[in-house]
Amino acid sequence: MSVRARNNVKVLGQGDRVMLFAHGYGCDQNMWRFITPAFEKDHRIVLFDHVGAGRSDLTAYNRTRYNSLKGYADDVLDICRELELKQVIFVGHSVSAMIGVLAAVAEPERFSKLVLIGPSPCYINDGDYVGGFSRGDIDGLLDSLDSNYLGWSSAMAPVIMGNPDRPELGEELTNSFCRTDPEIARHFAHVTFLSDNRADLPKVKTPSLVLQCSQDVIAPEAVGRYVHRNIAGSHLVVMRATGHCPNLSAPEETIAAMKLFL
Q: For 255, what's the count of Cα atoms within 13 Å in the CB-facing half-sphere? A: 14
Alpha-carbon torsion angle 227, 231, 237, 239, nearest 10: -20
Alpha-carbon torsion angle 236, 242, 246, 251, nearest 10: -100
Q: Which amino acid makes up residue 239? A: M
Question: What are the residue numbers of the active site?
Answer: 94, 216, 244
* Nearest CA among 212, 186, 11, 234 for reference residue 93: 212
Q: Contact at 8 Å (CB) between 162 and 34?
A: no
CA–CA distance, 213 with 250 (Å, rounded to integer): 10
* Nearest CA among 77, 53, 97 for reference residue 188: 53
DSSP β-ladder status, 10-13 and 43-47:
antiparallel
